[in-house]
Structure 1
Amino acid sequence: MKGDGLAARANEAISRLKQDSGHVLGSRKAQQVRKMLVGQHVNDGWIAKIVILLLLAVIGFLYLQPVFYMISTMLKTVSDLIDPVVQWIPRTVNWQNLSDAWRGLRYPEAFANTLTIALVCSVAQVCSCAVTGYALARLKFPGRNLAFFLIIVTFLIPPQITMIPLYAIYGKLGWLNTPLVFFIPAIFAQGLRGALFIIIFRQFFLTQPKALEEAAKIDGASSFRLFFRIMLPLARSACLVVFLFSFIWYWNMYYEPSMFLGKDFLPLSLRLNLMQEELMGNTAINFNAGFGKDPISEGPKMAAAFLIIMPPLIVYMITQRWFTEGIERTGLVE
């Protein structure tokens, strides 16, 4: 009898241990599942990652939706454009819109004009703004703080306020209707967004250790040689950021060319406005001219916009990695 009681107690103890171990294993699995879903921190779990991915997908779609609409519209025929059933995917791909836009923009000539302005002014601004930013950051001269204050003021003043005085000055100098209205200010660090680029270079050079300058000066290097042999090579990331920003802004500018340039030297942004007159006689897109509406359909206009934005997109895709590194090193994300 005693042996049977001991055996029963032993079985009960073993069953309790099994139940306790089962509860422990179940709690551990529940903790692992909870840790996997929620994570130790807010952004470690799968739930937070899924929410972040969905949010990024929505934001990405909002940014890319105009580009998708542009590509979809430029590939549509006239029947697809007037058919409300066709939304994104055209029934037949129409490459004629690109051909019309190419001719309407006079793309080779306008592309050469735009590239000349953007490339020359960007390189000039990188050089001039780098020198100005280094002088404001490292050199001590009378009126340095006042000069930096005036540069900030020029950055804060809207360009529309200074447009009439600049037009009068350029007219007296004989620069109107020529690219000199963009080349000369860029050479003297007063081009498009020049004040911003000076501030970027100044902040970059302020972060460099003074030991480099002291060692160079001990070796007998002048300020000129110190800048071009030591400081400027260190500022390659800042130079790339300034070049890309300047190139994109000069490529996309519209207000300044419409004020200063004539019909002999038109960039792509102004050619887009003149494309309607260039394509008036094209029967392929003049389908609704008899109803008193705009004879230029959405297809050629979207194709023209696509041709305009493609070169900057290609430049950015090639230099994306270096551009991101430059943003981090110049402190623009702070």
Structure 2
Amino acid sequence: MSEISRLWTETKAGVRRIWVGQEAQKFKRLTIGQNLNDGLVAKAIIIMMLSSIAYLYLQPLLYMVTTMIKPLADLIDPTIKWIPRSVDWSNLKKAWFGLEYPEAFRNTLVIALFCSVFQVGVCAITGYALARLRFYGKNVAFFLVLLTFLVPPQITIIPLYTIYAQLGWLNTPFVFLIPALFGQGLRSALFIIIFRQFFSTLPKALEEAAKVDGATGFYLFARIMLPLARPAALVVFLFSFIWYWNMHYEPTMFLNNDFTPLSIKLQNLETVLLGRNFEGLITTQNPITEGTKMAGAFMIILPPLLVYMVAQRWFVESIDRTGLVE
């Protein structure tokens, strides 16, 4: 009986060790994971890192939104930072009138939309030529494109101002539309490089098959190559639209009150607020204009945010396909 008891005890101890070992392995897989990023610990670390990065990016936007809805008492109260005691929508109303939002929005939309469309078309043609065609001086032309990307705009601003003044384009949208139409718009060199990179990845068999079927050069580009370049076109359009929408330096040099975009209106918003009365909102009695300025900034960035939210999925896929992440 003693031998049987000993064997039974050893068997139970062995079973317990096996069970403990299995449970330890399960706990290890649950916390650490089979691979480095599979377990709960790794996932918690990743979530904490992503949350911290998201907070860094979203903090200015959150501050803007909370500030624009604060009444005067909350703005001057140092104990209130994020959540106001009450919501005041008068800042949005004052920003609407101070920015002259409908007119300024129209001016900005004309510049951003048409320049972006022009840049997509012209930069696509130029990028296709640099990627697929063979002609004398091709490398020199690409070097000049890179050179225009490296030269700061402050160096060329005075010659451009003189040329636009002689042509009578100052204070008109032509100072942005015409250069964009001829491939000299805002950051056109970068967009040409994007299209060149994309067209270089397409197989040559497409062109050879189209030429066998009798396709000419422009037909080949317009009906075969350009539809395949939709990812690159979407990236270029969104980048161009955002940059034209937010540009500030160039409008201050070429435009005045006759044709003023939202960026210039925001710059002059505080001066306007301190000297005008918008439907009973007497701002001279309230010299603290931070809430109104935040409301104006939010109204300016809202349209690009909506555009990005609508096109986000296609935008991310397009960046992946154009090779911008490399």
Q: TM-score over 0.5 for the alignment?
A: yes
Residues 1:287 and 2:282 are matched in the alignment: no
CA drift of 1:73 comes to 0.6
CA drift of 1:65 comes to 0.6
Contact 2:95–2:295 (CA under 8 A) maintained in structure 1: yes
Residues 1:194 and 2:188 are matched in the alignment: yes
Contact 2:105–2:261 (CA under 8 A) maintained in structure 1: yes
Q: Distance in 2 between matches of 1:87 and 1:285?
A: 23
For 2:129, the aligned partner's letter is A
Matches within 5 A, 1:19-38: 19-38=13-32
For 1:197, the aligned partner's letter is F
CA drift of 1:287 comes to 3.3
- Given candidates 305, 312, 333, the residue that maps to 2:304 is 312
CA drift of 1:172 comes to 1.5
Residues 1:153 and 2:147 are matched in the alignment: yes
Spell out, residue by residue over 1:41-80, the C-alpha distance to the aligned partner (whole angstroms, 9 max, x if none): 2212111110110011111111111111111110011111
Matches within 5 A, 1:53-132: 53-132=47-126
Please tell me the root mean square deviation across aligned C-alpha atoms, in Å.
1.1
Spell out, residue by residue over 1:233-284, the C-alpha distance to the aligned partner (whole angstroms, 9 max, x if none): 0001110000000000000000000001121000000011222232223454
**Alignment TM-score, normalising by the size of structure 2:** 0.97
CA drift of 1:176 comes to 1.1
For 1:287, the aligned partner's letter is Q
For 2:68, the aligned partner's letter is M
Contact 1:101–1:301 (CA under 8 A) maintained in structure 2: yes
Q: Distance in 2 between matches of 1:153 and 1:320?
A: 31
Q: Distance in 1 between matches of 2:256 and 2:114?
A: 19
**1:297 aligned partner:** 289
**Alignment TM-score, normalising by the size of structure 1:** 0.94
Q: Distance in 1 between matches of 2:239 and 2:322?
A: 13
For 2:283, the aligned partner's letter is I
Q: Distance in 1 between matches of 2:207 and 2:56?
A: 48
**1:135 aligned partner:** 129
Gaps of 5+ in 2: none
Residues 1:10 and 2:4 are matched in the alignment: yes
Spell out, residue by residue over 1:172-211, the C-alpha distance to the aligned partner (whole angstroms, 9 max, x if none): 2211111111001101111001000000000000000000
Residues 1:330 and 2:311 are matched in the alignment: no
**2:173 aligned partner:** 179
Spell out, residue by residue over 1:84-117, the C-alpha distance to the aligned partner (whole angstroms, 9 max, x if none): 1221111111010000000000000000000000
**1:291 aligned partner:** none
Residues 1:258 and 2:252 are matched in the alignment: yes
Q: Distance in 2 between matches of 1:111 and 1:307?
A: 10
For 1:107, the aligned partner's letter is Y
SS at match of 1:319: helix
Residues 1:272 and 2:266 are matched in the alignment: yes
Q: Distance in 1 between matches of 2:295 and 2:24?
A: 56
For 1:304, the aligned partner's letter is G
Q: Distance in 1 between matches of 2:276 and 2:260?
A: 22
Contact 1:276–1:296 (CA under 8 A) maintained in structure 2: no
Mean Cα deviation higher: 27-36 or 140-149: 27-36
CA drift of 1:286 comes to 2.7
**1:292 aligned partner:** none
Contact 1:257–1:270 (CA under 8 A) maintained in structure 2: yes
- Given candidates 219, 229, 235, the residue that maps to 2:229 is 235
Q: Distance in 2 between matches of 1:323 and 1:149?
A: 28
**1:4 aligned partner:** none
Spell out, residue by residue over 1:198-232, the C-alpha distance to the aligned partner (whole angstroms, 9 max, x if none): 00000000000000000001111111000001000
Contact 2:270–2:289 (CA under 8 A) maintained in structure 1: no
Gaps of 5+ in 1: 1-6, 289-294
Change (3 A) 1:22 1:159: same
SS at match of 2:86: coil
Contact 1:192–1:250 (CA under 8 A) maintained in structure 2: yes
**2:43 aligned partner:** 49
Contact 1:78–1:285 (CA under 8 A) maintained in structure 2: no
